[in-house]
Amino acid sequence: MAIQTLPLFPLSQPIFPEGVVRLTIFEVRYLHLIKHCQQEGIEFGIVPLADGHEVQKAGALERLHAIGCLVKLLTVEAIQPAVLSVACVGTARFRLGEYARGAFGLWSGEIILGPPPARLPIPAEFQPLADQLGSLIAAAQQQGLESNLPMRPPYRLDESGWVADRWAELLPLPAREKAMLLAEHDEIQRLQRIANWLPAASP
Q: Verify that 149 and 100 share a domain, yes or no.
A: no
Q: What type of residue is 197?
A: W
**Per-residue pLDDT for 178 more than 90?**
yes
Q: Which of 113, 133, 153 is the last residue of a domain?
A: 113
pLDDT of 140 reads 97
pLDDT of 77 reads 96
CA dist 167 and 89 (Å) reads 16
pLDDT tens, residue by residue, 70-114: 999 999 999 999 999 999 999 999 999 999 988 888 999 999 998
Q: Which of 89, 113, 137 is the last residue of a domain?
A: 113
Domain tally, the chain: 2
Q: Verify that 97 and 7 share a domain, yes or no.
A: yes
Considering the domain boundaries, does residue 118 fall inside one?
A: no
Q: Verify that 76 and 95 share a domain, yes or no.
A: yes
CA dist 74 and 50 (Å) reads 27
Angle (CA) 86 91 97, round 5°: 100
Q: Verify that 96 and 131 share a domain, yes or no.
A: no
Could you tell me which residues come within 8 angstroms of residue 1 by beta carbon, excluding any fewer than 6 positions away? 112, 113
| Residue range 173-199: mean pLDDT, rounded | 93
pLDDT band at 202 (very low <50, low <70, confident <90, very high): very low
Q: Verify that 10 and 100 share a domain, yes or no.
A: yes
**DSSP summary character for residue 66:** S
For 28, the domain range is: 3-113
**Per-residue pLDDT for 59 more than 70?**
no
Q: Sort 69 into a burial class: Cβ within 10 Å, 0-12 / 13-18 / 19+.
A: buried
CA dist 19 and 88 (Å) reads 8
pTM score: 0.91
Least confident of 56-65, 118-127, 160-169: 56-65
Q: Which of 61, 45, 57 shows the shortest CA–CA distance to 10?
A: 45
Q: Verify that 86 and 62 share a domain, yes or no.
A: yes
Q: Which of 113, 147, 168 is the last residue of a domain?
A: 113
Q: Verify that 97 and 132 share a domain, yes or no.
A: no
Q: Verify that 56 and 152 share a domain, yes or no.
A: no
Considering the domain boundaries, does residue 119 fall inside one?
A: no
pLDDT band at 46 (very low <50, low <70, confident <90, very high): very high
Could you tell me which residues come within 8 angstroms of residue 113 by beta carbon, excluding any fewer than 6 positions away? 1, 2, 70, 92, 93, 94
| Residue range 103-129: mean pLDDT, rounded | 93
Considering the domain boundaries, does residue 107 fall inside one?
A: yes
Q: Verify that 128 and 99 share a domain, yes or no.
A: no
Percent of the chain scoring above 90 in pLDDT: 83
| Residue range 151-158: mean pLDDT, rounded | 96
Residue 103 belongs to domain with CATH number:
2.30.130.40
pLDDT of 3 reads 77
Q: Verify that 87 and 160 share a domain, yes or no.
A: no
What DSSP string runs through 111-173?
EEE-PPP--PBPPGGGHHHHHHHHHHHHHHHHTT-GGGSSB-SS--TTBHHHHHHHHHHHS--
Answer for the pair 33, 6: CB distance below 8 angstroms, yes or no.
Answer: no
Average model confidence (pLDDT) for the chain?
92
CA dist 101 and 76 (Å) reads 24
